[in-house]
Amino acid sequence: MTAPPSANAPAPRAGRGERIAIRGDLLDFVADPEWGATDSPAVRFRPDTWVLAEDGRIVGVQADAPDPTWQRDDHAGRLVLPGFVDTHVHSAQLDVIASYGTELLDWLTTHTFPAEARHRDGAHAEVAAAHFLDALLAHGTTSAVVFPTVHAASVDALFAAAETRGMRLVAGKVLMDRNAPAELVDDVATGEREMEALVARWHGRHRLAYAVTVRFAPTSSREQLALAGRLCRADPTLYMQTHLAENRAEVRWVHELFPEARSYLDVYANAGLLHAKSVFAHGIWLDDADRAAIAAAGAQIAHSPSSNLFLGSGLFGWRAARDAGIHVSLASDVGGGTSLSMLRNMADAYKIQALAGERLTAWTALHAATRGAAVALGLAGEIGSLEPGTLADVCVWDPAAGTVATRRAAAARSLHERVFAWMTLADERNLVAAYVAGKARYRRRGERVILSEAKDPGVAPPRDPSLRSG
């Protein structure tokens, strides 16, 4: 006999569709954890619990196994988290990840621009987009805010591949009309025409949203920045993404190019690109006035730890951003970043804060990559938690892999200690399965987890007395 279903179990209803139940130790957040608190009421940990999804949406969470009409994926003993949200990553840069020897501006011209130029070929862009999204899923990232390239074909390829996989994706054509190789620049009129067509084709379709995408201030003329701002004003549902104050040489260059602006951020603000849907990658070299302006706009900073370390860009002041009231999300920034794994990036984020004399808890890091990103993007009703009503973007993780991590996990005396060790030692090899809207889109090779296949909904379910309640 088992206990009666819990109060938030889904009510039976007619005409049900695909139903899947996933068992494990559920970990998500109900609020933003307090900085530095290893014991926080914002953390929701539910050991040995089933999360139930129907037609792609989470419909309930319960302690008991659901009846056999549900496909039951039993991951008892494993961690079950919302899929990670990577708020800044470049789909055309997988080929230049881990490239030696440069800081930001040289890195762009030496490694990045040649790789991006290859995406003008639509066939190349299609293959690359599929590979990129499958790689995200294989790292436990189910949603992302992505830079493709200047080529409309690369944007089409990326959105089409995301739609095929059912993923939440925010992306847009990269705007560049100066200070870049000829094959990567366009002009204001072409940019406007192509953006309008892409917005019409993809924005709001399925789980896709368009982001007005300015590479960074140095590669856009004032006219192109003004165009980007006009588009944002004309449609406030559009996102905006760009890079901001990543590297000191870059900041100096922006001051030379835009002497009229008080700060780098002001270049964007003056163009109408600072608003609640703005995603600013990096934001390392800011002052208090910049931070106050970002917070007042409700914009977010996509902190990119492995990229900041790898390119030697600087140490992000997470505490200062947070104290100013800024939403901070977490990003891989591949190919400047060295891993698509959000866990590897969290481990790097901890080290950056350690160098700054701060302590980053596992809760703040994990929250930034799940619920925090969702809130900042205005998508908390869809992604970032295991709350009923959200889409079932769910990942299953081994709590430890290998002898060192296993021994460390066994020695942990508190939940934070255990999860922090996991965050620090784990990577994509710990990922067992990634579900997008209730469908398994990634399963580790050799995994056999299905307890029972879903039965045809038209047929009365067989009765298993051990699972009946009452």
Q: Which is nearer to Zn ion, 21 or 96 (CB)?
A: 96
Tell me which residue has its CB nearest to Zn ion: 333
Q: Binder to Zn ion among 333, 348, 393, 428 (CB under 5 A)?
A: 333
- Of the pair 75, 90, the CB lying nearest Zn ion is at 90
Place of tokens 């002898």: 403
Smallest separation (angstroms) from Zn ion to the CB of 89:
8
Taken as a whole, the chain contains a residue count of 470
Q: By the 8 A CB rule, do 259 and 265 touch?
A: no
Q: Which is nearer to Zn ion, 49 or 219 (CB)?
A: 219
Question: How many residues bind Zn ion, per CB under 5 A?
Answer: 2
CA dihedral 116, 88, 143, 141 (to 10 degrees): 90
Instruction: Work out whether strand 327-330 and strand 300-303 pair parallel, antiparallel, or are unpaired.
Output: parallel
CB 88 → Zn ion: shortest distance, Å?
6
- Whose Cβ is closer to Zn ion: residue 333's or residue 398's? 333
Asked if residue 246 binds Zn ion (CB under 5 A), the reply is no
C-beta of residue 83 within 8 angstroms of C-beta of residue 457: no
The span of 16-24, 135-143, 178-186, 332-340 binding Zn ion (CB under 5 A) equals 332-340
We find the least distance from the C-beta atom of residue 112 to Zn ion, in angstroms, to be 9
Longest CA–CA span in the chain (Å) reads 76
**What is the contact mask toward Zn ion in residues 34 to 73, using x (rule: CB under 5 A)?**
----------------------------------------
Alpha carbon distance 39, 32 (integer Å): 13
Q: What are phi and psi of 304, to 5 degrees?
A: -120, 80
Please state the closest distance from residue 336 (CB atom) to Zn ion, in A: 6
Q: Which stretch binds Zn ion (CB under 5 A): 206-214, 252-260, 274-282, 320-328?
A: 274-282
Question: Is residue 345 within 8 Å of residue 337, measured between CB atoms?
Answer: yes
**Span from 195-203, 281-289, 397-405, 429-437 in contact with Zn ion (CB under 5 A):** 281-289
Stretch that binds Zn ion, among 98-106, 233-241, 328-336, 375-383 (CB under 5 A): 328-336
Query: Taking a C-beta distance cutoff of 8 angstroms, is the pair 342, 141 a contact?
Result: yes
The binding track of 10-39 with respect to Zn ion, each residue x by CB under 5 A or -, is ------------------------------
Min CB(281)–Zn ion separation in Å: 5
C-beta contacts of 448-453 below 8 A and 24+ residues apart: 449/73, 449/74, 449/75, 450/71, 450/72, 450/73, 450/74, 451/65, 451/72, 451/73, 451/74, 452/68, 452/70, 452/71, 452/72, 453/71
Instruction: Return residues touching Zn ion (CB under 5 A).
Output: 281, 333
